[in-house]
Structure 1
């Protein structure tokens, strides 16, 4: 089965602080065995650190990690041969590193690592950013803790809820927002972690019963479980429900390496039976089973230098990494793991059925902890050094849109 993708590759650029081309579109084709990549359009922008497809896939939004932060939108042809800037908006704040669609469907929410704030941008009927409509300053949440600087790192819409989750690496908290009329966001709760964990990215299951948090500074995966609260019988049914609450139930090291691990990105596999976590330092991708009461590391594979992001690509359950699901567009990410052939999986236990096939094969053929020689069959060769992507919606049948972003070497970002 042939699968096609259009990748939007974003990264620190020659017009900014890096060596990349800004945003570049790449056409990708895979028949399950071979992978072909063809360059399409490129747009020179300073330091686009994260990109996001619109719901219909016609527009590509990018956040520029500049001062001030800028949100730039491109209109992209079906085949990626042409891309033009159709909107460019400066925000209050600096160092924007991530953006996501608002829960209202008419806005973008941007995490600004540099200025420690979260900005909301309104979209017009065409889906183009028009104006900043809200700004939430995390400096107001420090609560008198000395030598604390807020660093919002990601924005995630929690499935099955109206909440937007923003992990703040500096505050050791995940702030939970609710978006109201006009796109304004208000704090509705938080998930607290002990000092020094540094929550960077998170992923929730399809009902947000569990939220798994990659802690960059401690190298741990924190799992927060939702508390089921029932309203008193005396409260009328028309009264608004109390905000959902989550509490951390377990902490698990993501890597078994002796090297200190600075975690970056985290995702669930398609059937939600396991987690994938990228570890900078050891430069590995870990597989954590969710069969037990808390995550258990069952495999770890080397993926190349400084893995800052990854995503999944291919048929659900087929175990392909570094891409998105079929008939979906992939939204970009900031930095990334390089998934290359020849990596050596290091299985440490039973690997779940939904795991990437390269990891599953290694686990079957080797005893726990034994070294594995030869290629990991379903890990794609690197498209570009330290690049990876994340999923987004589809526009055309049989097509896939995706975006990548190379990383800086600064482990704190």
Structure 2
């Protein structure tokens, strides 16, 4: 079996190696460090280009930046290409459209959704458009203003759903693929104080799943045309848990049978079975470290790779036939990892 490569982002300083390339051995789940690169402060969230030879990162700082990189995973090489202003404070998420032409990022503190073009060499061009969010939510501490937290492309379309944690809303935009201009089309409200963070699309059914950071729930949306209709809301925590927790990442298994959510505080991976699009709780697996901020499922394999912000570790766990992550195959130390992305 050929190796799988993973790139991790972090809350490292500019002097530290904040981005690391890892090789995952498919048979054993062991991680080997192949390359690392310093030079960017808090290179947190990453997006991999469809060509697999370049990726982008956000520098999650005040007046942040978006950064482009070239890489050769087989030779263990990473090189920065260029940087552009992110258009606001603390960019928290970045994505590349399916055709590899545009970068869409969001600034959590700046409350902006921005678009940059991608050049043929993988570098980022000057900003094409920016849309500002205004609003607030029920939680006075966390929802004092709009805080866009992620952007997800609806597969096969030029529509993007932006989760705004501060507004308790998911905003749908149309991206003009020629000009890079954004047009707001619809707003879907969540429960007050939910704090929508990230979304995941079912691979074969018309459902989208949203993880809500502040109340640690999962919202199930039926996709009717391009509209989101909430069909279910289910807790990501065990009934008996009474401590502090914020939910972080969500993903659907490649075969569409399971949905996974990470909990920071309970430090677990919540597992749900998909039944006709809706969710049934299966259980909670130990995340293998403190503060599981992000994770990725490795397709056509039994591995889940989890980045622990709190313990400064990345763990690889084996997923059983029942969908539950179990044995830890490997656990490596690294600087404050907050994102793990699979190279395509």
Q: TM tier, shorter chain?
A: 0.7 to 0.9
Note the C-alpha offset of 1:389: 1.6
RMSD of equivalent CA atoms: 2.9
1:296 corresponds to which residue? 280
Report 1:169-208 matches (<5 A): 169-180=165-176, 181-206=178-203
2:302 corresponds to which residue? 319
CA shift in 2, pair 1:334/1:104, >3 Å: farther
2:3 corresponds to which residue? 4
Measured against aligned partners, the alpha-carbon deviations of 1:108-143 in whole angstroms (never above 9, x if no partner) come to 00011121111111122323211001011002x569
Report 1:132-143 matches (<5 A): 132-139=127-134
1:272 corresponds to which residue? 256
Measured against aligned partners, the alpha-carbon deviations of 1:310-350 in whole angstroms (never above 9, x if no partner) come to 0012x52x422118xxxxxxxxx895996658x9xxxxxxx
Distance in structure 1 (CA, Å) of the matches to 2:85 and 2:75: 26
Measured against aligned partners, the alpha-carbon deviations of 1:184-216 in whole angstroms (never above 9, x if no partner) come to 111111221121000011111136611111001
Aligned length: 334
* Contact map agreement 1:10 1:334 (CA 8 A) in 2: no
* Contact map agreement 2:68 2:122 (CA 8 A) in 1: no
1:308 corresponds to which residue? 293
Report 1:61-100 matches (<5 A): 61-100=56-95
Note the C-alpha offset of 1:151: 0.8
Secondary structure, aligned partner of 1:130: coil
1:404 corresponds to which residue? none
Residues 1:165 and 2:158 are matched in the alignment: no
Measured against aligned partners, the alpha-carbon deviations of 1:207-266 in whole angstroms (never above 9, x if no partner) come to 6611111001111101111235xxxxxxxxxxxxxxx22111111001115134311000
1:156 corresponds to which residue? 152
Distance in structure 2 (CA, Å) of the matches to 1:36 and 1:120: 34
Secondary structure, aligned partner of 1:290: strand
Note the C-alpha offset of 1:183: 0.9
Distance in structure 1 (CA, Å) of the matches to 2:315 and 2:281: 21
Distance in structure 1 (CA, Å) of the matches to 2:162 and 2:324: 36
Secondary structure, aligned partner of 1:380: strand
- Select which of 378, 382, 393 maps to 2:331: 382
Secondary structure, aligned partner of 1:295: strand
CA shift in 2, pair 1:4/1:178, >3 Å: same
* Contact map agreement 1:161 1:208 (CA 8 A) in 2: no
* Contact map agreement 2:35 2:78 (CA 8 A) in 1: no
CA shift in 2, pair 1:291/1:339, >3 Å: farther
CA shift in 2, pair 1:320/1:77, >3 Å: closer
* Contact map agreement 2:7 2:341 (CA 8 A) in 1: no
Measured against aligned partners, the alpha-carbon deviations of 1:285-330 in whole angstroms (never above 9, x if no partner) come to 01111126631111211112111110012x52x422118xxxxxxx
Secondary structure, aligned partner of 1:224: strand
TM-score by length of 2: 0.87
- Select which of 281, 285, 292 maps to 2:265: 281
Secondary structure, aligned partner of 2:259: strand
Residues 1:109 and 2:104 are matched in the alignment: yes
Report 1:239-254 matches (<5 A): 244-254=226-236
Q: Select the structure of larger CA radius of gyration.
A: 1
Report 1:43-62 matches (<5 A): 43-62=38-57
CA shift in 2, pair 1:291/1:68, >3 Å: same
Residues 1:21 and 2:17 are matched in the alignment: yes
Higher strand share: 2
CA shift in 2, pair 1:47/1:134, >3 Å: same
Distance in structure 1 (CA, Å) of the matches to 2:126 and 2:297: 33
* Contact map agreement 2:257 2:274 (CA 8 A) in 1: yes
Secondary structure, aligned partner of 1:153: strand
CA shift in 2, pair 1:247/1:35, >3 Å: same
* Contact map agreement 2:248 2:292 (CA 8 A) in 1: yes
Note the C-alpha offset of 1:284: 0.3
TM-score by length of 1: 0.73
- Most deviating of 125-134 and 381-390: 381-390
